[in-house]
Amino acid sequence: KQEVTQIPAALSVPEGENLVLNCSFTDSAIYNLQWFRQDPGKGLTSLLLIQSSQREQTSGRLNASLDKSSGRSTLYIAASQPGDSATYLCAVSVVKAAGNKLTFGGGTRVLVKP
Amino acid sequence: DAGVTQSPTHLIKTRGQQVTLRCSPKSGHDTVSWYQQALGQGPQFIFQYYEEEERQRGNFPDRFSGHQFPNYSSELNVNALLLGDSALYLCASNLVWQGTYEQYFGPGTRLTVT
């Protein structure tokens, strides 16, 4: 059974500091990995998707790496801003003939202080 | 480009009642997945619909059922509501033949069972 863990559960940093969020998964047979952002009481916004054959993906200040063999992904957010305060979730996708499903970690709650 | 939409936004029900939640997928998408997110936790996969059939199911009781219509929209039905069913219910869609299986999420329906 695939299990996804995110550590730490919460993180508080001063504005301008770089953020490093960790995600680990137990089964390396994944199709892809997605990072999401969730604001309180809202839905999920997709930030980055990394295919299992890729090592990293970048979008603006965000960079995500994937090491499938060790079951780890890291999301880097450069020069954090108060607007980056949110919960960040990682999810791994397993694709079968019947379809695909996402297995999520518990999330890391981030607070960026001005 | 219309994203994933869900209705209603909020819902309050009493234990033992039944509820129906609705989801319209992102334009052009043909697959709908439902997730349950309890407060402070990551989303849990309920089931996925493709071609009007349930293709995969997570570890949820038969009280949870669904349907997909010819226009790809979907409903989630929960019977005999329990207090523990209180959660944010998220709908996600993707296009099977897109290749990336990237899932796009709606804003969610907040269900409170009293």
Indicate the pLDDT class of residue B102, thresholds 50, 70 and 90.
Answer: confident
pLDDT at A97: 66
To the nearest whole Å, the CA of A78 is away from the closest chain B CA by 24
C-alpha span between B28 and B94 (Å, rounded): 9
Is the CB of residue B32 less than 8 Å away from at least one CB of chain A? no
Higher pLDDT, B98 or B107: B107
The pLDDT of residue A74 is above 80: yes
In chain A, residues with a C-beta closer than 8 Å to the C-beta of B35 are 102, 104
C-alpha distance across the termini of chain A, in Å: 41
Q: CA B22: distance to chain centroid?
A: 7
User: Touching check for B25 and chain A: CB below 8 Å?
Assistant: no
Q: Convert the pLDDT of each residue in A4-39 to its tens digit.
A: 999 999 999 999 999 999 999 999 888 899 999 999
Only one residue has tokens 């999920």, namely A44
In the predicted model, what is the mean pLDDT of chain B? 94
Cα distances (Å, whole numbers) of residue B43 to A90, A91, B17, B33, B94: 10, 9, 23, 12, 17
Q: So what's the pLDDT on residue A41?
A: 87
The pLDDT tens digits for B55-89 are 999 999 999 999 999 999 999 999 999 999 999 99
Q: Are B66 and B11 in contact (CB under 8 A)?
A: no
